[in-house]
Structure 1
Amino acid sequence: MITLLLFPLFTSLASAIWPIPTSYTHGETVLWISKDTSFDWAGAGDVGTLKVQPNYDLDFRTNSNAYATTQYEGDRTRLKRYSEAPTGDEMIDQAIYSAKQTLFKKNFVPWKFHPRNWTEPSTENRTYISNVRVEVLQDDPGDIAKPLAGTVDESYALELSEGGNVSITANSSLGIVRGLVTFTQLFYKHSDGGAYTPLAPVIIFDIPVFQHRGINLDVSRNYFSVKDIERTIDAVAYNKMNRFHLHITDAQSWPLEIPALPELSAKGAYRPDLVYTTDDFANLQYYASIQGVELITEIDMPGHTSSIALSHPELIAAYNIQPDWDTYCAEPPCGTLKLNSTKVEDFLKKLFDDLLPRILPFSSYFHTGGDEVNKNSYLKDDTVNSNDSTILQPFMQKFIDRNHDQIRAAGLTPVVWEEMLLDWNLTLGSDVIVQSWQSDEAVAQIVAKGHKALVGNYKYWYLDCGKGQWLNFDPSVSAQYYPYEDYCAPFHNWRLAYSYDPLGGVPADAQHLVIGGEAHMWAEQTDPTNVDRMIWPRGSAVAEILWSGAKDSMGRNRSQIDAAPRLSEMRERLVARGIGAEPIQMPYCTMEGTVCQLGYQP
């Protein structure tokens, strides 16, 4: 570990680092940074200098020769690597390039965070930062781009002297990536050009509380282009999250190309062009990895698999039952993989043999779903013909065992939704990560059984809630559903998301098993038009809880009054980066300090 003293926490309207660091002190000296400022870096045992071109116009950059070049949007070029994850050096290279892009092309003038009579710092007699030195103190592990939770140290230390020297040190390349994000948040754009910080000298030490910090995006119920997903990954990385959960198939569509089973996407996608090709999928995994984000792929099963019936009807039971579909599934179209079918086993082996080797370079995990499996659907499964739990449970155990054995043999760790453990009472391997979504009581039950848990209580961290029903109601029943609220209404605003404690209800001796959590963006009513504002900045509120913890340094619940101006500033930074994040307050509130509070105790 980096040996540093912990400095007293100090925040103000002019020091809006997000997520809030473990310890942070700053001054009031203005320093400028130039496009020509050098970024020098040293690894454990060697020293090198990265020459980052200040006017380099690529959005996605690497120095590797093992990349194919593809043209997008006319003259825009991106570099894609298909077969292997980035090295730590490549991640640092990209992070330095991204930091310069943020400082000089994706920055903002902070007028919203100062009174009306505020004047920007003088542009005369500027003192410039001389160089930024980046140092990795230890050798990276071989799996730096796809670490299991808790196996890589993401801490970093950042020092900016009053004379303009910058040092960012960390025990891993991932720590450097996080530290460079923080470095960009010290700077603002000046109306007359250039970037400056009013905060020198700065001393920061930072380390995340939780090992798994993610966003889950459903790209099956609505289709999102590669560009839309990349933009979401950009925001995930800038919030120091380290996991992007891609819920890529479901009942409504199968948009993922599987070369061994091309009919799945050919018939299961909404349209032939709304498909993620093998190149798209590899690019997305690499795009996340090089920013220090591990993409975790979910193929939900045995439920939420109705789209398979469009190409393989023999594999699916209770397909698209109407009109009483709600007897057999949570939402239409119904359908579940048959539980006692050798054809299903053969299909899954072929699917996994194709897909898992393409995931392995970029992730240590594979998510097999397991949520909302309706036992009534097996009344229409000719391989079991029952909805009796005592009959179904052994078949489900065999189904999960087969899948997880193949996943482990491929070198991956299985992830499941909580129902497989708590509702179906399955015996899961000790390595299996169990993702909870229904309650804090469920989290406590998961860790009581000895499993590592991911939190994401739908009452707090479901970002799709509060938009009203997407179902239509016949006049004969509509009155009983009025005013047509969705099942998890009301809308979960950022303050509610920020109030959630992932450790609430978990005994102290089991809290180490809560490795983190995710906010969830289900897409029944979300598509590329509104996805940015649906996730951000509420996702940022979740990011701070997962990075900094739900309690402050005094053990108190984190303050909205402290968080609101910082989150407003983070929102401006996201907007400057091309993310359509919603505002959380009007400029009057951020310009006038504490005037928009109730019960404020100065």
Structure 2
Amino acid sequence: MIILWVSLFTYLVSAIWPVPKEYKHGDTVLWISKDTSFDWAGAGDVGTLKFQSGYEYGFRMHSNTQPIVQDEQSRRRVKRTGEAPTGDEIIDNAIYATKQTIFKKNFVPWKFHPRNWTEPNAQNSTYISTVKIEVLQDDPQDIAKPLAGTIDESYALELTEGGNVSITANSSVGIVRGLVSFTQLFYEHSEGGAYTPLAPVTIFDVPVFQHRGINLDVSRNFFSVKDIERTIDAAAYNKMNRFHLHVTDAQSWPLEIPALPELSAKGAYRPELVYTAEDFANLQYYASMQGVELITEIDMPGHTSSIALSHPELIAAYNVQPDWNTYCAEPPCGTLKLNSSNVDDFLKKLFDDLLPRVLPFSSYFHTGGDEVNKNAYLKDDTVNSNDSATLQPLMQKFIDRNHDQIRAAGLTPVVWEEMLLDWNLTLGSDVLVQSWQSDEAVAQIAAKGHKVLAGNYNYWYLDCGKGQWLNFDPSVSGQNWPYEDYCAPFHNWRLVYSYDPLSGVPAEHQNLVIGGEAHMWAEQTDPMNVDRMIWPRGSAAAEILWSGAKDADGKNRSQIDAAPRLSEMRERLVARGIGAEPIQMPYCTMEGNVCQLGYHP
């Protein structure tokens, strides 16, 4: 038996994605049966557990061990109410998902072995009998909706050569992360069954960043509940813990607001392309069951043109033609009026309805604030000006009103960077600021004392490089040729992987960069291509956010090391029903380094 550090591996199948903090494995084959029991324990007496290189954390002894029966008949049903899941339910769901992944959503790893590879033989083999799970501390009440940094997601996983497994963590969510890694140790056999060739295994793992997310725009193109759930599944399997739902925009308002039913009735593309209040509750619950917090964004005051379809009196510069680009970033133009009591009344009614339905599942609410064009207020009859001196105090009042109501509802506001950097607003110290335009902006936000989310569009905008979705009048066609979009070229996985959220941020402010998100804007993405547009490039961002952009030696993470592991992660996503794009052709993954340019054996 051989013990190997994961960092020594190039093409051998040994992948855990994202790469753990510490990971050792051997080369002994163990099998796992559908009858393998998963036993877990809650909190008991406090002690201390040390693991590997001196890491230590509090733990509690076995108490109330509960064998979990994981058949379809006895599994607890997902709630359909406004109540968030408990830690016990999160673990129960994770154990069920683990067995589903190992036995029904797995793959034969032929692409990662030479052509003459022989699969392991199950005869006279050792089987894993029991997987013991220990939750080492009591979960906080907000286990399903934590503020960033309030939940410990670390875990330890040990698999002995004799087939004994333990997964320990300080929280239910940590157990979820450990079980995900556990599934990635196993492969399907072509004649049936599942095995790991990697025993013994020891892992200690902890994320570098507190906020690790995918942002999906569901307003420019509509995505079904199943599409969104599938994206949440993939995010969770990459150990992401946030799903940002950009649910309304200029083009459509697909979210049902029972107090304002006309918004979706008139603002959706079609009557059936609406997320009902029940859909919305179920999506939030579905995410939280996997340790993913769904953060809802209602973008404003810009990107609100769809409100004009039911409330034209609230919107300025609606659908200006032909020179729409003078007033907005993309058609149809329109912004909430900035000095209107009617707008205030509308937003109070909107938030009174929506925020209580968000509160059980999230600690955050995103109010947008990007790409507000000051020229639009030349057509705002409550302002009639594009002068910053006039507009800035009105925008401050607008944001203060919204954020005061959000705080009163028990939520923390999130805004795009323009509200702080372009409009020079005074934001509460609690406000989380999301950056997208540059690394310099991330540094500026942190310098102002705000927690910040990174996501530079030059790296983590997954829609870039598809070419223009606009058509060009012959009078301007020539000057816009060859019709590339503003954020071209296409951001391949290596570029995504090369991004460091801390780039350019002084050391004394880096603690304020709490994470980031990869963004999927939907002008040219719909249900037919959303999977391959996000995955596995989103996985590359997920590893940077979980493991950090630097390795243990302080060097940039190696795409040579990442490529075969990401190829394997892609196969795991495909096995889970996610249409992720391939990283390399099988010849490259089967033959090791032969596809490495400049390689000298």
The two structures have a TM-score, normalised by structure 1, of 0.95
Distance 1:82 1:50 in 2: 27
Q: CA deviation at 1:598?
A: 1.6
Residues 394 and 62 of structure 1: is their aligned pair in 2 closer, same or farther, counting only changes over 3 Å? farther
1:456: which partner in 2? 455
Matches of 1:432 and 1:10 in 2, distance apart? 42
Q: CA deviation at 1:47?
A: 2.1
Residue aligning to 1:526: 525
Matches of 1:582 and 1:8, distance apart in 2 = 25
Match of 1:295 in 2: 294
Which residue pairs with 1:547 in the alignment?
A: 546
For the residue of structure 1 that corresponds to 2:232, the secondary structure is: helix
Task: Name 1:359's counterpart in structure 2.
Answer: 358
1:51 is matched with which residue? 68
SS of the aligned residue for 1:144 comes to: coil
| Contact residue 9 and residue 553 of structure 1 kept, 8 A | no
Separation of aligned partners in 2, 1:82 and 1:173: 21
Q: 1:501-520 counterparts in 2 under 5 A? A: 501-520=500-519
Q: What SS is found at the alignment partner of 1:588? A: helix
- Give the Cα separation in 2 of the matches to 1:570 and 1:110: 11
| Within-5 A mapping of 1:171-570 | 171-570=170-569
SS across alignment from 1:505: coil
Separation in 1, partners of 2:75, 2:70:
12
For residues 154-192 of structure 1, the C-alpha deviation after alignment (integer angstroms, 9 at most, x for no partner) is 000000000000000000001000000000000000011
Q: How many residues align?
A: 579
Structure 2 CA distance for aligned equivalents of residues 366 and 473 of structure 1? 37
Q: Secondary structure at the match of 1:35?
A: strand
What secondary structure is seen at the aligned counterpart in 2 of 1:477? helix
Deviation larger for 353-362 or 591-600: 591-600
In the alignment, the residues of structure 1 paired with residue 24 and residue 470 of structure 2 have an alpha-carbon distance, to the nearest angstrom, of 52
Matches within 5 A, 1:94-133: 94-133=93-132
Is residue 63 from structure 1 mapped to residue 62 from structure 2 by the alignment? no
How much does 1:124 deviate? Answer: 1.1
Match of 1:4 in 2: none
Q: 2:364–2:411: 8 Å Cα contact kept in structure 1? A: yes
Other-structure match for 1:75: none
Structure 2 residue aligned with 1:71: none
Deviation string 1:331-378 (CA, Å, 9 cap, x unpaired) is 000000000000000000000000000000000000000000000000
SS of equivalent to 2:475:
coil
* One-letter amino acid of the structure 1 residue matched with residue 335 of structure 2: T
Instruction: Write the letter of the residue equivalent to 2:496.
Output: A
> Residue 168 of structure 1 contacts residue 179 of structure 1 at CA under 8 Å; is this kept in 2?
yes
Q: 1:36 aligns to what SS in structure 2?
A: strand
Are the equivalent residues in 1 in contact too, given 2:6–2:25 (CA < 8 A)?
no
| 1:439-461 per-position Cα deviation (integer Å, ceiling 9, x unaligned) | 00000000000000000000000
Question: Contact conserved, 1:260 with 1:354, CA < 8 A, in 2?
Answer: yes
SS at match of 1:460: helix
TM-score by length of 2: 0.95
State the alpha-carbon separation in 2 of the partners of residues 348 and 304 from structure 1.
Answer: 15
Alpha-carbon distance in structure 1 between the residues aligned to 2:76 and 2:597: 53
Q: What is the identity percentage for the equivalent residue pairs of Structure 1 and Structure 2?
A: 85
CA–CA distance in structure 2, aligned partners of residues 192 and 129 of structure 1: 19
Aligned equivalent of 2:49:
none
Deviation at 1:62, TM superposition (A): 5.4
Q: CA deviation at 1:8?
A: 8.0
State the match for 1:578 in structure 2: 577
Q: Is the 8 A contact 1:444 1:505 kept in 2?
A: yes
Looking at structure 2, the residues matched to 198 and 373 of structure 1 have their Cα atoms a distance apart, in angstroms, of: 55
| SS of alignment partner, residue 245 of structure 1 | strand
- Secondary structure of the structure 2 residue equivalent to 1:234: helix
C-alpha deviations, 1:366-425, integer Å up to 9, x for none? Answer: 000000000000000010100000100000000000000000000000000000000000
- State whether structure 2 residue 48 is matched by structure 1 residue 35: no
- Asked if the contact 1:43–1:136 (Cα under 8 Å) also holds between the matched residues in 2, the reply is yes
Q: Distance in 1 between matches of 2:533 and 2:79?
A: 29
Aligned-partner Cα distance in 1 for 2:214–2:346: 29
Larger mean CA deviation between 121-130 and 567-576 belongs to: 121-130
Q: Provide the secondary structure at the position in 2 that maps to 1:426.
A: coil
Code of the aligned partner of 1:63: R
Deviations 1:281-330 (A, max 9, x none): 00000000000000000000000000000000000000000010000000
1: distance between equivalents of 2:114 and 2:21? 29
SS at 2:595 equivalent: coil
Aligned partner letter, 1:367: H
AA of the residue aligned to 2:424: N
RMSD between aligned residues: 1.3
Query: 1:83 Cα shift?
Result: 1.3
Letter in 2 for 1:28: D
- 1:75-129 CA-to-partner distances (Å, cap 9, x unmatched) read xxxx442211100100000000000000000000000000001010012112100
Unaligned runs of 5+ residues in structure 2 are 45-62
Structure 1: 5+ residue runs without aligned partners? 1-6, 65-78
CA–CA distance in structure 2, aligned partners of residues 329 and 559 of structure 1: 41
Query: What is the one-letter code of the residue matched to 2:65?
Result: G
Contact 2:85 2:288 in 1 (8 A): yes
Distance 1:367 1:50 in 2: 40
1:158 match: 157
- Displacement of 1:474: 1.3
Question: Separation in 1 of the partners of 2:132 and 2:361?
Answer: 28
| Structure-1 separation of matches of 2:530 and 2:104 | 23
C-alpha separation in 2, matches of 1:258 and 1:382: 27
Partners of 2:203 and 2:511 lie apart in 1 by 25
Cα distance between partner residues in 1 of 2:502 and 2:392: 30
Deviations 1:492-530 (A, max 9, x none): 000000000000000001000000000000000000000
Q: Could you tell me how far 1:53 is from its partner in structure 2?
A: 3.2
Which SS does the other structure have where 1:510 is aligned? helix
Deviations 1:119-146 (A, max 9, x none): 1001211210010000011000000001
Alpha-carbon distance, 1:232 to partner:
0.4
Checking the alignment, whether the CA contact within 8 Å between 1:95 and 1:177 is kept in structure 2 is yes
CA distance in 1, matches of 2:237, 2:110: 22
d(CA) in 2 for partners of 1:598, 1:575 = 27
Q: CA deviation at 1:49?
A: 2.2
Answer whether contact 2:28 2:198 (CA < 8 A) is retained: yes
SS in 2 for 1:523: coil
CA 601–518 in structure 1, closer or farther in 2 if over 3 Å, else same: farther
Task: After superposition, give the CA deviation of every residue in 1:200-224 in whole Å (9 maximum; x if it has no partner).
Answer: 0000000000000000000000000
Cα deviation for residue 599 of structure 1 reads: 3.0
The answer as to 2:92 corresponding to 1:93 is yes
